């Protein structure tokens, strides 16, 4: 590992020919491998970079400095930074299904064959027709959305919106489905170190050496942070060597995990963190089985925030011209990537570290023409390198303008006395102090606090268990980063119970961090940008101030300052600084906005991981699934379940034909349906009946052993939650069923009633839904079929086992089973439950037993047809908005006991006569088809919301009646049987006259189910 | 968030279901008035500060829990079995 980081080694390597094709590549130096050329394209032009490049460094090496057009004014833009804070250099990567828009060129690692393109330009990057926007700049000033597009309203749809959409879109999303997959991981550790710069490495070393489980998260391909971008020494070692050694030592520790190419994007409550690992973004196609990205959820006892700092640009006329860059980025391109971003440099600084740029540029063979420092005095010795390089040193001066077409060719400098002069240069390095990355600290709503020493915000109330170190805390000296990191690492390990020792203080080369911020330079001719990505200029801040939008949250929304995808990483401070000058307030009083996750954009696909398409949630199979699949069943999803909807036979051409056959066979012979998906709750205990009586709205105290009863469960607000059955298997033993959809909810409700409302009751319960397979056997031959599989001792004659009887029995020679004589179809019917492991065998045995009667398996469609024929309500009617009275079940409500929902169901609005109530519906013309969702309208009434009288909840084609029938909810429906209304369905051109009837179409006297 | 379930230990909040304020007491029995029930079902305070609330550990031990959480900071001061809290509540009510 340390080899790859040894700059001395790579500098000694001979420059190979591919490097010479890159005019701005240095002959030696940098953490790149010049022997590995990587061809790539940008806007169709072929270029070559080298291993270790980012797209940004490779473009600069090739002299490409214009890489994009700005959002609002389509101004030419270049590369500002060398990291994830980049606001300008947003590009499209790859093509086809892997095309990815709005990617920062500064973090995109180069690989062989990478195809890239600029965005937001037409017809070409160099000649952009929409750059006319820049001439119309006054129109696009702050608040332009609010002012310009106010009136008239109809213009929005036709003119403004399409125009804005065309003009404002940055990248283009891929149009084909993402071919890659994404993964999700959970990790736990003692100490999480966020950021692998000097402070983070020192912290991880101290914690790791103490034996703590450490996770170190770093954005880049190789940790090291600023050590890789600067020429520093630690002890006797070069900074890069020290970093390489540290990484090597950490990798050798068994309980330390380094996650590189990983961005920690969110801090959540109670020590939880979210991170994205870019596993395969640096290769063309992920390796087999490797994900494109991996989403990490990390739980840590302690966290050390070593996320570093972001350098601040200067605000002056034409500061967005390609070639104007952050000074720290210029040093990174020179030292880390072996690229000179220009030939003739100028430096505009207000801080000591800006002067480092001079020596680095000179060492790499560039010329430094001028150093402009707005301070009148600087520390002796700071100017030494500039003097040696023959650069002009201009103290008390400011850069106020730039020129070039469009890349930088000259700057205008104004002296303190107000004299201006033009200086030729093709790269301007800006150094205006650094902002500690306070984003992560503020994810839990903590406000950062002002640190006057560095003129920046630092983490305020750090979230529980988190400590900031190094530049993230506002400590910009390398020695402070190392010592502070080591102390924090040792302390965090000690907090987790490990004996840790702080290492002796680190020694570094001489350094200083004096700084005087300059929120904006004196006015020049050109536009001075504050927020590069959203095109917010200093004049926009002035406008907002004039128009009264001075509070920080107003300023942000009025100007869109800091609201782009970079969340104002390079712009917020200048905006606040200018507003502070305008209002005459101290800056901290202007305040700062709240930062929210994610720190950098996160792909939704990465959060979803494998939970997409069919794998969005787990799939549950019924016990008869294998048989059903082998026999051509068509399935339907019901929550997590896959249930057989119908079983087509050879020759059947549509589902309706199949369903008609299944229903007719059940009604004339016998059928079998898998109803295992219903919830089954086993309830036992001395007070079990008391709990059931509280939870169910109908009476249960009188339920004898060996009997099942229909059960209605209400919510406390009086609406129906679910229906099912309760069976008393023994004196203190019950089994309750719930619908497939509500099974988990009913279980939760029962637990709630028991644990919270009635904690004194002696009762225990558990879900046995998955333990029992349950089949409905229905039809005139149901008993004959059943007799062939149950053990001979069990008497299921009508006399011994009448309607609603229930018993524990045995089947197939001693296998424990439960038999319930209940019916959803209205036929003579049973439900047989067997242990789930016997489900498949029992299903096959019943089909065999019923073969001579012509048994048919039937699915949820036939089940639904038969329940509509019988007028039984189901999920379509028990929809959370209906009471028992609405469902025609009001008469079942117990009068003499208290139960959940008892009082609230009697609220005046819920019992008023006009309330829709369940009715049956059949078209007057038996050839008419009706559809669920149609609304009831009077026959001669003009349709409209005020004429609405209810709607059709369920429809079916009834094989018994030979026509479509339905169930619906109709105003005052119980009193309107025989009346005619329209079933009106404008969406599907439905308008059918129907007759209202009792909601039961087959065997209303219920003779069939009692035979 | 993570909740320290007294049965299962520190667990991810994805395992839990939130219900709401634990302070309203259900007006039980046949004598309860509709007005009292209406208050119980619908009226809730929205305090900025400590809040006793009911959570259900559905993907764990199936315990209902009373969690004391500060609504401003999400700091959790206490987690108790709802059943124990309910018994204490009922015992207090029984005292004349
Ligand atoms: Zn638990």
CATH superfamily of the A912-1010 domain = Aminomethyltransferase beta-barrel domains (2.40.30.110)
CA of B63 to the centre of ligand 1 (A): 6
Do residue B64 and residue A751 have CB atoms under 8 angstroms apart? Answer: yes
Q: What pLDDT, in 10s, does the model give residues A759-769?
A: 999 999 999 99
Which chain B residue's Cα is nearest to A267?
Answer: B1
Closest C-alpha among A205, A73, A81, A171 to residue A129:
A73
Q: Which residues contact A570 (CB under 8 A, 6 or more apart)?
A: A80, A81, A85, A87, A310, A311, A312, A313, A326, A532
**A741 Cα: distance to centroid of ligand 1 (angstroms):** 24
Query: What fold characterizes domain A528-595?
Result: Arc Repressor Mutant, subunit A (1.10.10)
- The mean predicted confidence, pLDDT, of chain A is 92
pLDDT value at A470 more than 80: yes
pLDDT at position A405 over 80 = yes
B59 Cα to the center of ligand 1, angstroms: 8
Main-chain phi, psi angles of A494, to 5 degrees? -60, -40
Q: How confident is the model at residue A70 (pLDDT cuts 50, 70, 90)?
A: confident
- Tell me: pLDDT of A166 over 90: no
Find the residue in B nearest to A766 (Cα). Answer: B62
pLDDT at res. A13: 36
CA nearest to A897 within chain B:
B30
Q: d(Cα A249, Cα A994) in Å, to the nearest integer?
A: 82
How far, in Å, CA of A366 to CA of A29, rounded? 14
Say how far apart CA A532 and CA A523 lie, in whole Å.
18
Residue among A307, A353, A303 nearest A332 (CA): A353
Q: pLDDT tier at A771 (50, 70, 90 boundaries)?
A: very high
CA distance A644 to A672: 12
Record the tokens describing residue A793, joined without a space: 């001792």
Q: Is A151 on the interface with B (CB under 8 A)?
A: no
Q: Which residues does chain B have within 8 Å of residue A444's beta carbon, measured at their own beta carbons?
A: 73-74
Peptide bond into A992 cis (omega under 30): no
Give the Å distance between the CA of B52 and the centre of ligand 1: 17
Reported confidence tier of residue A119, pLDDT bands at 50, 70, 90 = confident
Model pLDDT for residues A121-165, shown as the tens digit of each residue: 766 777 776 665 655 555 566 665 555 555 555 655 565 555 555
Length of chain B: 96
Is the Cβ pair A756, B86 closer than 8 Å?
A: yes
Is B2's CB within 8 Å of A271's CB? yes
Q: Which residue of B has its CA nearest to A444?
A: B73
Give dist(CA A511, CA A201) in Å, integer: 20
**Chain B interface residues facing chain A, Cβ-Cβ under 8 Å?**
1-2, 12, 17, 19, 26, 28-30, 32, 34, 37-38, 40-42, 54, 56, 58, 62-64, 73-76, 81-83, 86-87, 90
Say whether pTM exceeds 0.95.
no
Tokens for B46, please give them.
């929205």
- Are B2 and A299 within 8 A, CB to CB? yes
Considering only CB atoms, B64 lies closest to which of A464, A752, A897, namely: A752
Give counts: helices (H), strands (E), chain A. 25, 50
A313-432+513-525: CATH number: 3.50.50.60
| pLDDT tens per residue, range A624-655 | 999 999 999 999 999 899 999 999 999 999 99
Q: What is the pLDDT of residues A952-978, one digit of tens each?
A: 999 999 999 999 999 999 999 999 999
- Say what the pLDDT of residue A171 is: 73
Q: Write the pLDDT tens digit of every residue in A425-447.
A: 999 999 999 999 999 988 887 88
HEC profile of A642-661: EEEEECCCCCCCCHHHHHHH
* A654 touching chain B per CB within 8 A: no
Beta A233-234 vs A237-238: how paired, if at all?
Answer: antiparallel
- Dihedral (Cα; A644, A645, A651, A657), 10-degree rounding: 160
Chain B residue with the nearest C-alpha to that of A748: B58
A108's tokens: 């995109």
CATH number at residue B55: 3.30.2270.10
Nearest to B30 among A464, A751, A898 (CB): A898
- The structural domain count of chain B equals 1
Q: For A941, which DSSP code?
A: S
Percent of chain A with pLDDT over 70: 93
CB-CB contact of A672 with A847 (8 Å): yes
Domain boundaries along the sequence of chain A: 7-168, 182-309+436-495, 313-432+513-525, 528-595, 624-677+771-880, 679-768+883-903, 912-1010
- Looking at the DSSP bridge assignments, the partners of residue B66 are B54, B80
Name the architecture of domain A679-768+883-903.
2-Layer Sandwich (3.30)
Which pLDDT score, from 0 to 100, does residue A14 have?
38
Alpha helices in A235-324 (DSSP H): 239-252
Q: How many CB pairs under 8 A join A and B?
A: 71
pLDDT of residue A328: 98
Contacts of B12 in chain A (CB under 8 A): 272, 297, 299
Top residue of A618, A748, A903 to mutate, by most chain B CBs within 10 Å, is: A903
- Which among A717, A748, A755 is the nearest to B41, CB-wise? A717
Please judge whether A752 and B86 are an interchain contact, meaning their C-beta atoms are less than 8 angstroms apart.
Answer: no
**pLDDT tens per residue across span A529-568:** 999 998 999 999 999 999 999 988 899 989 989 888 888 8
pLDDT tops 50 at residue A4: no
pLDDT at A107: 95
Quote the ligand 1 centre to B28 CA distance (angstroms): 28
Q: Specify the CATH number of the domain A182-309+436-495.
A: 3.50.50.60
Query: Taking the CA of residue A205 as centre, how many other CA atoms within 13 Å lie in the half-sphere pointing to its CB?
Result: 25
**Is the torsion defined by CA of A642, A647, A651, A653 positive or negative?**
negative
- pLDDT tens-place string over residues A263-307: 999 999 999 999 999 999 999 999 999 999 999 999 999 999 999
Residue A463 clears pLDDT 70, i.e. is over it: no
Interface touch B56/A744, C-beta < 8 Å? no
> Which residue in A318, A317, A433, A421 sits closest to A370, CA to CA?
A421
The tens digit of pLDDT for each residue in A573-614 reads 999 999 999 999 999 888 887 788 999 889 999 999 999 888
pLDDT value of residue B84? 97
Domains A182-309+436-495 and A313-432+513-525 agree in fold: yes
ipTM: 0.98
pLDDT of A699 over the 80 cut: yes
In chain A, positions 756-775, which contact chain B (CB-CB < 8 Å)?
756-757, 759-760
Token pair of A880, please?
């959370």
Summarize pLDDT for A497-534 with one digit per residue, the tens. 999 887 889 999 999 999 999 999 998 889 999 999 98
Q: Do A270 and B74 touch (CB under 8 A)?
A: yes
Tracing tokens 């927020």 back to the chain, one arrives at A531
Pairwise CA distance, residues A678 & A889, whole Å: 21
Contact A958, A868 (CB under 8 A): yes
Share of chain B above pLDDT 90, in %: 92
The pLDDT, as a whole number, for residue A19 is 44
Is residue A834 within 8 A of residue A815, CB to CB? The reply is yes
What is d(CA A18, CA A964) in angstroms, rounded to the nearest whole number? 78
- If you classify domain A624-677+771-880 with CATH, what class do you get? alpha beta
Q: Which residue of B has its CA nearest to A297?
A: B12
* CA separation for the pair A777, A827 (Å, rounded): 9
Residue percentage of chain A with pLDDT more than 90: 83
Instruction: Find chain A residues with C-beta within 8 A of B17's C-beta.
Output: 748
Residue A272 near chain B (CB below 8 Å) = yes
User: Quick check: bond before A123 cis, omega within 30?
Assistant: yes
- What was the pLDDT predicted at A134? 59
Distance B56 CA to ligand 1 centre (A): 8
A465 and chain B in contact, CB less than 8 A = no
Q: How far is the CA of B6 from the centre of ligand 1 (A)?
A: 7
Contacts with A903 from chain B: Cβ below 8 Å: 32, 34, 37
Closest CA to A328 of A353, A294, A299: A353
For residue A748, the chain B residues in CB contact (below 8 A) are: 17, 56, 58
- Which class in CATH covers the domain with range A7-168? alpha beta
Residue B49 CA to ligand 1 center (angstroms) comes to 25
Give the domain extent around B53. Answer: 2-94
Smallest Cβ–Cβ distance between B86 and the set A270, A744, A755 belongs to A755
Taking the CA of residue B64 and the nearest CA in chain A, the distance in Å comes to 7
């Amino acid at each position: 590992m340390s080899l790859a980081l040894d700059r001395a080694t790579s500098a000694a390597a001979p420059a190979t020919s591919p490097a010479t094709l890159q005019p701005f590549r240095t002959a030696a130096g940098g953490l790149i491998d010049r022997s590995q050329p990587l061809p790539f394209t940008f806007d169709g032009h072929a270029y070559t970079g080298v291993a270790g490049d980012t797209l940004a460094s490779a473009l600069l090496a090739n002299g490409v400095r214009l890489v994009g057009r700005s959002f609002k004014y389509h101004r030419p833009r270049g590369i500002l930074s060398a990291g994830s804070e980049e606001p300008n250099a947003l590009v499209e990567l790859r093509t086809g299904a892997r095309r990815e828009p709005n990617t920062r060129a500064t973090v995109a690692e180069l690989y062989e064959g990478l195809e890239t393109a600029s965005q937001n330009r037409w017809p070409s990057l160099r000649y952009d027709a929409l750059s006319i926007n820049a001439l119309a700049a006054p129109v696009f000033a702050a608040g332009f959305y609010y002012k310009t597009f106010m009136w008239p309203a109809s213009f929005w749809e036709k003119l403004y919106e399409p125009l804005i959409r065309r003009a404002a879109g940055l990248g283009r999303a891929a149009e084909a489905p993402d071919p890659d997959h994404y993964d999700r991981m959970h990790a736990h550790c003692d100490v999480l170190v966020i950021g692998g710069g000097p402070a983070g490495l020192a912290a991880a070393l101290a914690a790791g050496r103490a034996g703590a489980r450490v996770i170190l998260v770093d954005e880049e391909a190789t940790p090291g942070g600023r050590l890789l971008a600067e020429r520093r020494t630690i002890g006797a070692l070069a900074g890069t060597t020290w970093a390489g050694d540290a990484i090597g030592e950490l990798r050798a520790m068994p309980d330390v995990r380094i996650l590189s190419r990983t961005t920690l994007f969110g801090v959540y409550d109670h020590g939880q963190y979210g991170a994205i690992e870019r596993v395969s973004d640096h290769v063309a196609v992920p390796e087999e089985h490797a994900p494109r990205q991996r989403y990490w959820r990390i739980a840590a006892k302690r966290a050390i925030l070593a996320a570093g700092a972001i350098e601040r640009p200067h605000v002056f006329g034409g500061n967005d011209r390609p070639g104007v860059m952050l000074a720290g980025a210029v040093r990174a391109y020179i030292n880390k990537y072996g690229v000179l971003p220009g030939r003739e440099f100028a430096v505009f600084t207000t801080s000591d570290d800006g002067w480092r740029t001079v020596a680095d540029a000179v060492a790499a063979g560039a010329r430094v023409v001028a150093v402009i420092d707005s301070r009148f005095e600087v520390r002796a010795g700071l100017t030494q390198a500039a003097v040696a390089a023959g650069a002009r040193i201009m103290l008390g001066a400011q850069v106020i303008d730039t020129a070039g077409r469009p890349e930088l060719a000259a700057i205008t400098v104004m002296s303190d006395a107000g004299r201006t002069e033009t200086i030729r240069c093709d790269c301007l390095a800006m150094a205006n102090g650094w902002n500690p990355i306070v984003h992560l600290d503020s994810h839990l709503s903590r406000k950062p606090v002002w640190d006057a020493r560095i003129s920046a915000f630092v983490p305020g109330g750090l979230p529980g268990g988190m400590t900031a170190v190094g530049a993230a805390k506002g400590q910009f000296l390398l020695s402070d980063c190392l010592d502070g990191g080591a102390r924090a690492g040792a302390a965090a390990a000690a907090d987790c119970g490990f004996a840790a020792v702080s290492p002796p203080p680190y020694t570094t080369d001489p350094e200083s961090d004096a700084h005087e911020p300059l929120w904006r330079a004196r006015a020049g001719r050109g536009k001075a940008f504050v927020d590069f990505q959203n095109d917010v200029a200093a004049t926009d801040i002035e406008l907002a101030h004039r128009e009264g939008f001075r509070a920080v949250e107003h300023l942000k929304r009025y100007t869109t300052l800091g609201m782009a995808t970079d969340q104002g990483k390079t712009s917020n401070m200048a905006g606040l600084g200018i507003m502070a000058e305008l209002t005459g307030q101290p800056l901290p009083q202007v305040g700062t906005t709240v930062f929210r996750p994610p720190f950098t954009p996160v792909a939704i696909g990465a959060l979803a991981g494998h939970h997409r398409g069919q794998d969005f949630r787990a799939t549950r199979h019924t016990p008869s699934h294998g048989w059903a699949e082998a026999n051509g069943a068509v399935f339907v999803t019901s929550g997590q379940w896959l249930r057989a909807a119908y079983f087509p036979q050879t020759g059947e051409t549509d589902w309706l034909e199949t369903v008609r056959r299944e229903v007719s066979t059940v009604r004339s012979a016998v059928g079998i349906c898998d109803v295992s998906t219903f919830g089954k709750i086993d309830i036992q205990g001395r007070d079990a009946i008391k709990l059931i009586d509280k939870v169910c709205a109908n009476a249960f105290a009188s339920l004898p052993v060996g009997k099942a009863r229909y059960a209605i469960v209400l919510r406390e607000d009086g609406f129906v939650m679910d229906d099912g059955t309760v069976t008393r298997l023994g004196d203190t033993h019950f089994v309750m069923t719930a619908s497939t959809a509500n099974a988990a909810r009913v279980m939760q409700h029962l637990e709630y009633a028991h644990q919270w409302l009635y904690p004194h009751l002696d009762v225990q319960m558990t879900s046995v839904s998955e333990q029992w397979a349950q089949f409905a056997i229905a039809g005139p031959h149901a008993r004959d079929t059943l007799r062939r599989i149950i053990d001979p001792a069990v008497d299921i004659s009508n006399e011994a086992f009448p309607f609603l009887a229930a018993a524990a029995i045995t089947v197939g020679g001693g296998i424990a089973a439960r038999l319930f004589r209940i019916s959803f179809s209205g036929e003579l019917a049973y439900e047989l439950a067997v242990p789930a492991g016997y489900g498949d065998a029992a299903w096959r045995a019943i089909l065999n037993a019923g073969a001579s009667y012509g048994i048919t398996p039937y699915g949820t469609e036939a089940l639904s047809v038969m329940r509509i024929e019988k007028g039984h309500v189901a999920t379509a009617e028990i929809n959370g908005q209906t009471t028992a009275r609405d469902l025609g079940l009001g008469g079942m409500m117990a009068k003499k006991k208290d139960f959940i929902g008892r009082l609230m169901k009697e609220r005046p609005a819920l019992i008023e006569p006009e309330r829709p109530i369940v009715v049956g519906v059949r078209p007057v013309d038996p050839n008419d088809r009706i559809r669920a969702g149609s609304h009831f309208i009077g026959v001669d009434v003009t349709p409209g919301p005020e004429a609405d009288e209810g709607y059709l909840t369920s429809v079916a084609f009834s094989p018994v009646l030979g026509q479509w029938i339905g169930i619906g909810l109709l105003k005052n429906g119980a009193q309107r049987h025989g009346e005619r209304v329209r079933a009106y369905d404008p969406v599907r051109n439905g308008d059918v006259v129907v007759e209202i009837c009792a909601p039961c179409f087959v065997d209303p006297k219920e003779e069939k189910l009692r035979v | 968030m993570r909740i320290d379930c007294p049965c299962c230990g520190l667990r991810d909040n994805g395992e839990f279901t939130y219900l709401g304020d634990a302070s309203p007491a259900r007006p039980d029995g046949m004598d309860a008035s509709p007005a009292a029930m209406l208050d119980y079902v619908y009226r809730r305070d929205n305090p900025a500060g400590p809040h006793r609330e009911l959570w259900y550990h559905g993907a764990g031990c199936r315990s209902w829990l009373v969690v004391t959480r500060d609504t401003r900071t999400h700091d959790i001061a206490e987690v108790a079995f709802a059943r124990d809290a309910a018994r204490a509540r009922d015992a207090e009510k029984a005292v004349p």
